[in-house]
Chain A
Amino acid sequence: MIDQNSTPEEIEAYKAELTSAAEQLEATTREHILARAAAEGWSSSQATWLDVIAKQPLLQAVADGTPLLTALEQAYADARRTLTTGYFNNALDERKNRYTAFLTVIDLEKQLAERRGETPPAYPEDILLAACRAVEDAAARGLSSEDQIATGFAVIRELSARAMN
């Protein structure tokens, strides 16, 4: 523990211990995040970004006292959403329409399934169309990109469940 009365040596030793722990945490979590991302079907480039994106909230949460595993799970989940939303925003930045942006996300989901060696989801066209309309509607209501995508997936889940019944 250091305070205003600590000597410069004590402070330096403290800093060294903290940065070392941070470096160790970074390396460990990085390894796990990349491995998990690969298992989920993310490409190398995507996995790297997931790690980078996850790092900030992860280290901050740990610094604030959140248990590592909880912080890691939360940070990774958030990173996935952030990266996915990045695809959506990037499509819009490239002047694609919102339908294209959302379907890019759907394509991303398919690619992940294929890389995992699973059968990619094949949503019926009418359900996808309804989801696209919902995304457009969410945008019109001023929701964030992330919430727009979440709305689209909620519609897909709802309509798919109805179709199953």
Chain B
Amino acid sequence: MKRDKTSKQAAGKQAALSPEVLRGIVGGAQPQEKRKIDGDMAAAMTAGMNDGHGNAPSATQTPSAQQAKTDAVAKAGNPDAKPPAESKVPLSKDEVKDIEKHFRENVGNKLPELNQKNEVKGTYERDLVKGGPGKWEVKSSAADSDKKDNAAAQQNHQPNSAPPSGQQPSTDYIKTAQKDAKTAFETGMTKALDETRKLAKDVRSAGDTLSRAQDAHDLSSATVKLAEAKLKTAVVFDKGQDEARGKLVDALVQHERNIKALADAKNTHDEVKQKHDGAQKALEGFKKVLSKTDDDLPRKAAGDDGTRPRANTAPAPLGANDGAQIAKQPEKTAEPEKSRTEQLKDEVKKDAWKNGVMVASKALEDVAKQAAKKDGTYEKRESSDVLAGGVSKDVTVKGKTTTEVVKVAQVKTESETESYSSAFGSGKSASKSIRAEAGYENKVTHDLGNGRSQTVTDKAYAGISGEAKAKYTITPTSIDAEAAAKAVAHAELRHTETTKIGIVETTKTTYVEGHAEAGVKAGAHLGFDGVKIGASASASASVSAGTSGEVKIGDAVKAGGDVKVFAEAMAEAKANAEVTFDPLKGTAKAKVDVGAMASAGIGVEGKGGLFNAKTGSGVGVGGSYSVGAIGVKFKPDLDIKDGKMDLKVELGGALGVGGNVNLQIKGDLNKAKDNFVASTKIPIPSVWIASSIVGFFS
């Protein structure tokens, strides 16, 4: 923020900021206007107050009263307005107290912080939520917040310049707010502690009951087994069967009761344990937050450098000259002091702190609901109504064809309200929607037999709907409010074909689809961790068309890429009885790779390690096919070369691929002849034909 010389000079002549002026600020732009809370307003209120150390500001730090009022008022209603200028005259103790009083009356004990991301300019009525926080209006933006923070940082860099006004609440205020918040947390923690202890007792009691039910269950289970064994014995010996059967029935009845009792005990135990866990979480959240309030937040919030009193200690009463004394203190210029907003942001960024608050707030909401259910103050209502039209369904079965037609033409409303109130907090929510839709679905299923079926579905649909929701939640540590509205329009045309073979279901869909959606959502959170205000608006529209495929196998297997491939493969895989391919092709291909070895006279590669490097024997498979060969023939052609046998055999005939296969057998000549001749004298036992190899592909 630029400050001209005139304003600086004027600021030097400023009188003290009067309580009336501040009351005006607190009251808003118009004195009669009662505003609930606004981050800028809070900032404006603290303008010109203490310097953040529990002291009145120095003469160079206090903004002009009139300027402050003007700026604050302008800013409260106009996001682009400049923040208030600085006052330079210290306030008296009474003035400070007066300011604090009004501040607390209007803002409560919450620390203000602006953390909004989007510009918000909306007004939300409380029509949907009776008893809610009422009409609230937010006009601010993150840009403003950042602008102020940047301006603060710039000013802090300037020697002898005043700290940014409108950014730092007084130390007294922080201390008081801190103290009040801490008290609220302590109260909440006490309640959570009591509830946790009580629920712990309930858990123990339910545990005992569960243990007894388990014992009874085990005992009756054993009794049933015993009765079964006795009945079997009675049947074997054909004696006392009726009695044994009667006892088994009695045992079964008792066991049935025990099973139910055990299930009930488990449910009760789980339910109580869940409640206990919830309360425990809330308690832990409180503990975390309280442990933080003792250390980190207060010190940093007050800008404490370790030499000043901790902010959560009781504020020291201000003397009449305190302001002047503080004014005389040398200003720190070496390092720019962070703005209050920045300090709070830093704190919120801290995971422990943030998590502690969030855990506590969320857990409190859950605990509040649970407690309200217990107290009978929880209420939830759901209703739906068809204002016009309706849904019709028509199913026709003709032979193996089933036709199902569903028609929709209706206007339907749905609403839901929820409210609860307990010692842990209260809340209300309401939602209402209206939908107009029209369409039809025609589904024809043909049973193809053998577990196969085909279903063709045609669907046309168009609908439009509107939805509004509002909600608020109040816990000892926070207040949340949320409002949302949404409008949706949707239309689609879809053609689906589903083929089912056994448990494999393949679906192919062709579709055209249009979808448009617009919504607004706004929410505010007011808690010990500061104020968060957010809003968003969205709108989207799309039109798509295309095809999709899905495969389902049973219920256990999820659809996926390989599942789809698998399902298709299932339908496609078929082994032909007639071999119309060359089964040796792979082997022949492999031979090419070792061709060099073969030509070198070492031999050729034989499957199964038949190649004998020592003797030079091996098996070769030629690929010379002659088309049109008829009948399987065996034409051996023996060649003797250097004492080695080279038996070339032509195998040909109706081999499916219409080709001959040439075999080449090499080896020691004399050995081969002897082995061949000897083998012809050994009969092959007929049992060999009936024997089978274990495993198809072993």
> A residues near B, CB below 8 A?
1-4, 11, 14-15, 17-19, 21-30, 32, 35-36, 39-40, 43, 45-46, 48-49, 51-53, 55-57, 59-65, 67-69, 72-74, 77-78, 80-87, 89-91, 93, 96-97, 99-109, 111-112, 125-126, 128-129, 132-133, 136, 145, 149-150, 153, 157
Q: A32-B684, A90-B581 are in contact. Are A15 and B638 (CB under 8 A)?
A: yes
Within the complex, the shortest CB–CB distance from B678 to chain A, in Å, comes to 8
Contact A128 B673, beta carbon cutoff 8 Å: no
Contact A109 B696, beta carbon cutoff 8 Å: yes
List residues of chain A with CB within 8 A of the CB of B638: 15, 18-19
- Is B408 part of the contact surface with A, judged by Cβ < 8 Å? no
Contact A60 B665, beta carbon cutoff 8 Å: yes
Which residues of B in the span 20-47 have a Cβ within 8 Å of any Cβ on A? Answer: none
Contact A18 B676, beta carbon cutoff 8 Å: yes
Given A26, A32, A111, which contacts B575 in the complex, CB threshold below 8 Å? A111
Q: A55-B651, A90-B581 are in contact. Are A153 and B672 (CB under 8 A)?
A: no
Contact A60 B582, beta carbon cutoff 8 Å: no
12 A-B pairs with CB atoms under 8 Å apart are: A17-B677, A22-B676, A28-B684, A48-B579, A48-B656, A55-B649, A61-B610, A93-B581, A97-B569, A104-B574, A129-B557, A153-B697
Given A27, A32, A63, A101, which contacts B665 in the complex, CB threshold below 8 Å? A63
Q: A32-B688, A62-B676, A106-B573 are in contact. Are A26 and B634 (CB under 8 A)?
A: yes
Contact A49 B655, beta carbon cutoff 8 Å: yes
Contact B695 A45, beta carbon cutoff 8 Å: no
Closest 7 CB pairs of A and B: A86-B583, A103-B573, A108-B575, A99-B569, A21-B676, A43-B577, A63-B672
- A53 to B566: give the CA distance in the assembly, Å: 31
Contact B677 A21, beta carbon cutoff 8 Å: yes
- A132 to B563: give the CA distance in the assembly, Å: 10
Of B7-15, B315-323, B512-520, B612-620, which binds chain A?
B612-620
Which A-chain residue is minimally distant from B573 (CB atoms)?
A: A103
Given A89-B585, A97-B569, A129-B557: 17 more A-B contacts, CB < 8 Å: A18-B672, A21-B676, A27-B634, A36-B688, A49-B656, A56-B665, A60-B617, A61-B610, A63-B667, A64-B667, A69-B682, A74-B608, A84-B696, A86-B584, A126-B556, A128-B570, A157-B695
Q: A29-B684, A63-B676 are in contact. Are A4 and B608 (CB under 8 A)?
A: no
Given A27, A59, A81, which contacts B649 in the complex, CB threshold below 8 Å? A59
List residues of chain A with CB within 8 A of the CB of B690: 36, 39
Contact B584 A18, beta carbon cutoff 8 Å: no
Contact A100 B569, beta carbon cutoff 8 Å: yes
Of B66-74, B219-227, B542-550, B640-648, which binds chain A?
B640-648
- A97 to B571: give the CA distance in the assembly, Å: 12
The interface bits of chain B over 623-666 (1 if a CB of A lies within 8 angstroms of the residue's CB, else 0) are: 00000000010101010100101010101011110000101011
- Is B335 part of the contact surface with A, judged by Cβ < 8 Å? no
Which B-chain residue is minimally distant from A96 (CB atoms)?
A: B572
- A53 to B227: give the CA distance in the assembly, Å: 64
Contact B617 A129, beta carbon cutoff 8 Å: no
Pick from A21, A61, A69, A102 the residue with the most CB of B within 10 Å: A21
List residues of chain B with CB within 8 A of the CB of A145: 586
Within the complex, the shortest CB–CB distance from B602 to chain A, in Å, comes to 15
- A103 to B638: give the CA distance in the assembly, Å: 43
Within the complex, the shortest CB–CB distance from A20 to chain B, in Å, comes to 8
The interface bits of chain B over 669-698 (1 if a CB of A lies within 8 angstroms of the residue's CB, else 0) are: 111110111011010110011111101111
Given A21, A32, A43, A153, which contacts B696 in the complex, CB threshold below 8 Å? A153
List residues of chain A with CB within 8 A of the CB of B617: 60, 63-64
Within the complex, the shortest CB–CB distance from B645 to chain A, in Å, comes to 7
Contact A128 B566, beta carbon cutoff 8 Å: yes
Within the complex, the shortest CB–CB distance from A52 to chain B, in Å, comes to 5
- A145 to B675: give the CA distance in the assembly, Å: 34
Contact B610 A86, beta carbon cutoff 8 Å: no
